Amino acid sequence: MKTFIPTFTVAALATALVIGLAVPVSAQSTNKPVTNEAATNGAATKPKNERLPFKGTVDAVDKSAMTIKVGERTFQVTSGTMIIKAGKPATFDDAKTGEECGGSYKKTSGDKLELLSLRLGPKPDGAAAPVKPAGDAKKKDQP
């Protein structure tokens, strides 16, 4: 009987400990409520590094400052800017005033507009056609 009481006490404490830990854990939810920050802030916020498209006509080219003006916006050309003309790689020196252009940019600190890609001249003929994945083609001889 003397060994039964300590064994029973240890078993009861272990059971209470397991039940005590299991109850709070099962009550916790890992699902977080979905919040709409635009609704709570009153305005939609965009990430700083988002790619933004643009198109227009080159109004000015400043080769010393490495900038190009399209409409009211002045874009900064960097070493990372991918420049294409007639579907082939080009350089900033190929940019001419009055030329059609397009591409993408991002806003950087200080609200500068940094060009990520720049297309000089009209879009190549094949650029407008969407590319379909290879798995979309239907086979004519299906059983």
Distances (CA, A) of 28 to 18, 20, 21, 22, 108: 16, 14, 12, 10, 41
Report residues of the chain scoring pLDDT below 50.
38-39, 42-43, 128-132, 136-137, 139-140
- Please report, for the chain, the start and end positions of each structural domain, with discontinuous segments joined by +: 1-30, 52-125
Q: What's the pLDDT score for residue 35?
A: 61
Which alpha helices (H) appear in the chain, and where do they start and end? 4-27, 37-41
Q: What's the pLDDT score for residue 2?
A: 62
CATH of 52-125, picked from 3.60.21.10, 3.40.50.10680, 2.60.40.10, 2.40.50.320, is: 2.40.50.320
